[in-house]
């Protein structure tokens, strides 16, 4: 979850006073308000809208939905002669792509610098998957000499003063000693060469995705012109990022300049392209999906509220998606844009008159019959976790080793339950203070490895029922009475057969059979098991595989 925290004063300069009405509007725009204080406004930004991760872009969206600002357009100035970056072929194996731009005519103050750094961090975090997909650098143009090189260097040969560092370090030292080196160093793990940005004066500007140079990579209040670059693994992704960043600086009043990126193969592209993208759609489809009737004019108005332009080209509806939007993949995305502009709270709920026949899962029905029959006998149903611990399973099934384990569980529970009775015994062990007799049951899935290779996952799931009685005077008969009653209610015949099972007292345990097939055990639980659970009263218990009964 990405929370964008904005300086309230700065935001109010752009959108006016934040009243509770405006707060609601912001939430209904798809950026739910998290908290508003005297100094700050915090909103949640969903992962599909990285473009909203700067105060300037966010304010633009708020103004647009309130009809105060028109659809944005961006003018790109042609690159000056030496505005180019040469991409060395050695970056291919490390961080193959880069995209960049220049913005001039800016004026920074403390708050603006803070918000730029904040945007950079937020983009790195969510959209950039913690700098893996995306590393973004912003440099004062005054400190660097064009043209630039995106290349690599040997970890021990790269040497520069990293951001906020006290002395020059080699690339390798930065990874182990610099704070961001330690945090993001794993992204360069196993690389023989580290990527670097270098200017014509031989100065190292940065070592992506780790850190900028302190000398050339720090924006101050004196900065008026900036160079922006980002690097990663997908050209498309990087170009989108540059567009988001550039649109933010444009809102600050900056002039955008394109740059040439010359790759090793002699390819050449200009970055960024801030033209809006055309997407054809059918107004009918928008209305049909939303269940409303908007005419072309209303559709246009609503799209514009979302910052999206509209044109009718020879009778065809064309949406003009602004360059900074990265989330419009298909015309279906325009449906939501219109819905948000129209206002989610303005939709009249409707239940359609279509006839469908309801049907409960037959197994669920039988389970309810079983549950109600047992509750009628005064038994309490419990509801416990599917995940348990090896130790718990071993308290009863001491030679069991076929555990189905989950990876890196954040709780102590890290294996799937192989039976239900283990959970019931755990419940008894935790409830020695509750009044006896305690009579409990539970139904649910138990898990085993699929040795016949029949399942998609390699795991067999079966429905199981366990009943357990705990009391000073509990015995086999008490439980057998319940079993008799249950099968009578289900109108199923069962038989018991003497059995050997170490979990129960010898001579007081039986196999439960239906149609000659073994479906479970019933008996008085062996004292050995009870002492493993530190349970001090006798227990009678049964467990049945419900599979056969439910089908």
Binding mask 36-75 for another protein (x = CB under 8 A): ----------xxxx--------------------------
Judged by CB, which is closer to another protein: 32, or 147?
Answer: 32
CA separation for the pair 274, 101 (Å, rounded): 11
Rule CB under 8 A: which of 127-146 touch another protein?
129, 133
Q: Collapsing DSSP states into helix, strand and coil, what is residue 67?
A: coil
Judged by CB, which is closer to another protein: 29, or 148?
Answer: 29
316 DSSP β-pair partners: 313
Rule CB under 8 A: which of 271-290 touch another protein?
288-290
Residue 521 touches another protein, criterion: CB under 8 A? no
Judged by CB, which is closer to another protein: 37, or 356?
Answer: 356
- Half-sphere exposure for 301 (CA within 13 Å, toward CB): 10
CB of 439 to another protein, least distance (A): 7
Strand order across the beta sheet in which 268-271 lies = 211-212, 204-207, 194-199, 148-153, 84-87, 259-262, 268-271
Strand order across the beta sheet in which 2-7 lies = 2-7, 40-45, 33-36
Residue 437 touches another protein, criterion: CB under 8 A? no
Residue 491 touches another protein, criterion: CB under 8 A? no
CB of 485 to another protein, least distance (A): 12
Residue 364 touches another protein, criterion: CB under 8 A? yes
Residue 440 touches another protein, criterion: CB under 8 A? yes
Residue 398 touches another protein, criterion: CB under 8 A? no
- Gap between the terminal Cα atoms of the chain: 43
CB of 389 to another protein, least distance (A): 13
- Interface with another protein (CB under 8 A), residue from 14, 413, 480, 511: 413
- Residue 406: exposure state from Cβ atoms within 10 A (0-12, 13-18, ≥19): exposed
Rule CB under 8 A: which of 71-100 touch another protein?
none
- Half-sphere exposure for 494 (CA within 13 Å, toward CB): 28
Residue 21 touches another protein, criterion: CB under 8 A? no
Positive or negative torsion for Cα 472, 473, 475, 479: negative
Judged by CB, which is closer to another protein: 332, or 506?
Answer: 332
Judged by CB, which is closer to another protein: 178, or 395?
Answer: 395
Contact 220, 117 (CB under 8 A): no
CB of 328 to another protein, least distance (A): 9
Residue 28 touches another protein, criterion: CB under 8 A? yes
All residues at 6 or more sequence positions from 5 whose CB lies less than 8 Å from its CB, including other chains: 40, 41, 42, 118
Which residue, 132, 112, 300, 309, is CA-closest to 221? Answer: 112
- Go through the chain and tell me how many residues it has: 551
Rule CB under 8 A: which of 163-192 touch another protein?
none
Which residue, 394, 404, 419, is CA-closest to 449? Answer: 404
CB of 521 to another protein, least distance (A): 22
394 DSSP β-pair partners: none
CB of 363 to another protein, least distance (A): 7
Look at phi and psi of residue 46 and say left if phi exceeds 0, alpha if psi is from -120 to 50, else beta. Answer: beta
CA separation for the pair 430, 425 (Å, rounded): 9
The bridge status of strand 259-262 relative to strand 84-87 is: parallel
- Interface with another protein (CB under 8 A), residue from 64, 241, 382, 464: 382
CB of 446 to another protein, least distance (A): 11
Positive or negative torsion for Cα 187, 88, 244, 310: negative
Residue 294 touches another protein, criterion: CB under 8 A? no
- Residue 298: exposure state from Cβ atoms within 10 A (0-12, 13-18, ≥19): middle
Contact 155, 171 (CB under 8 A): yes
Rule CB under 8 A: which of 212-251 touch another protein?
234, 236-237
Rule CB under 8 A: which of 307-346 touch another protein?
329-333, 335-336, 339-340, 344-345
CB of 451 to another protein, least distance (A): 13
Judged by CB, which is closer to another protein: 135, or 339?
Answer: 339
Residue 452 touches another protein, criterion: CB under 8 A? no
Judged by CB, which is closer to another protein: 19, or 356?
Answer: 356
Rule CB under 8 A: which of 339-358 touch another protein?
339-340, 344-345, 347-352, 354-358
- Interface with another protein (CB under 8 A), residue from 12, 88, 225, 461: 461
Q: Max alpha carbon distance in the chain (Å)?
A: 96
CB of 147 to another protein, least distance (A): 29
């Amino acid at each position: 979850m990405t929370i964008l925290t904005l300086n309230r004063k700065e935001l109010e300069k752009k959108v006016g006073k934040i009243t509770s009405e405006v707060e609601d509007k912001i939430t209904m725009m798809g950026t739910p308000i998290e908290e508003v204080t005297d100094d700050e406004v915090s909103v949640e930004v969903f992962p599909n809208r990285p473009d909203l991760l700067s105060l300037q872009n966010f304010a633009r969206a708020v103004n647009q939905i309130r009809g105060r600002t028109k659809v944005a357009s961006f003018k790109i100035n042609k690159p000056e002669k030496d505005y180019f970056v040469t991409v060395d072929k050695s970056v291919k194996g490390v961080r193959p792509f880069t995209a960049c731009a220049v913005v001039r005519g800016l004026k920074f103050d403390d708050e603006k610098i803070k918000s730029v750094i904040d945007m950079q961090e937020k983009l790195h975090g969510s959209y950039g998957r913690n700098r893996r997909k995306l590393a973004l650098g912003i440099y004062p143009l005054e400190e660097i000499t064009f043209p630039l090189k995106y290349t690599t260097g040997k970890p021990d040969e790269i040497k520069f003063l990293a951001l906020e560092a006290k002395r020059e370090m080699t690339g390798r030292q930065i990874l182990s000693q610099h704070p961001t080196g330690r945090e993001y160093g794993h992204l360069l793990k196993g690389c023989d060469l580290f990527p670097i940005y270098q200017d014509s004066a031989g100065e190292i500007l940065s070592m992506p995705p780790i850190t900028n140079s302190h000398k050339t990579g720090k924006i101050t209040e004196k900065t008026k012109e900036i160079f922006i670059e980002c690097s990663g693994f997908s050209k498309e992704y990087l170009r989108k990022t540059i567009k988001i960043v550039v649109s933010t600086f444009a809102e600050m009043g900056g002039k955008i300049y394109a740059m040439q990126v010359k790759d090793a193969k002699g390819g050449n592209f200009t970055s960024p392209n801030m033209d809006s993208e055309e997407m054809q759609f059918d107004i009918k489809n928008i209305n049909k999906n939303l269940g409303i009737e908007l005419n072309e004019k209303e559709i246009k108005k609503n799209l514009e509220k979302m910052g999206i332009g509209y044109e009718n080209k020879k009778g065809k509806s064309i949406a003009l998606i602004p360059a900074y939007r990265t989330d419009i993949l298909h015309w279906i995305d325009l449906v939501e844009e219109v819905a948000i502009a129209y206002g989610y709270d303005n939709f009249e709920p409707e239940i359609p008159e279509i006839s469908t026949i309801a049907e409960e899962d037959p197994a669920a029905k039988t389970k309810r019959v079983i549950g109600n029959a047992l509750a009628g006998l005064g038994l309490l149903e419990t509801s416990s976790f599917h995940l348990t611990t090896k130790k718990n399973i071993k308290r009863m099934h001491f030679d069991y080793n076929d555990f189905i384990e989950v990876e890196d569980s954040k709780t102590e529970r890290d294996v799937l339950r192989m039976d239900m009775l283990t959970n019931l015994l755990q419940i008894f062990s935790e409830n020695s203070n509750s009044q006896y007799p305690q009579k409990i049951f539970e139904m649910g899935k138990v898990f085993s490895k699929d040795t016949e290779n029949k399942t998609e996952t390699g795991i067999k799931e079966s429905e199981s029922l366990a009943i357990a009685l705990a009391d000073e005077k509990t015995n086999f008969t008490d439980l057998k009475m319940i079993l008799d009653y249950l099968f009578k209610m289900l109108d199923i015949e069962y038989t018991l057969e003497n059995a050997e099972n170490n979990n129960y007292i010898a001579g007081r345990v039986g196999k439960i059979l239906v149609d000659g097939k073994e479906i479970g055990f019933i008996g008085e639980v062996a004292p050995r098991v009870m002492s493993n659970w530190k349970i001090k009263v006798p227990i009678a218990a049964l467990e049945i595989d419900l599979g056969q009964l439910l089908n």
